[in-house]
Amino acid sequence: MSDKIENINEITLSGSKEGKITIGTIAEPYGEKSESVVSIGIALQANSTEPDWKVHIPKANVDAVIKALEEAKASL
């Protein structure tokens, strides 16, 4: 996996005491010439070195995921 991680934002995880949502991008995450991804991690403890959950969303899917999240938010 690439070390080319660019942190974009860190958000407090609602409903937790110390949890964080981190959002960043990773260039060439799976080796040379692999497609960049958005990385979303959720850590339940502020001092965690690795998130408890994470997902990598390929650049080509970001717009569709944003649209789906907006639809999910509207249904809450």
Contact 19, 13 (CB under 8 A): yes
**How far from chain centre, in Å, is Cα 12?**
13
Map tokens 């080796």 to a residue. 31
Question: What span, in angstroms and rounded, lies between the C-alpha atoms of 31 and 2?
Answer: 7
Residues 26-71: tens digit of each pLDDT: 999 999 999 999 999 999 988 888 899 999 999 999 999 999 999 9
Give the predicted TM-score (pTM) of the model: 0.86
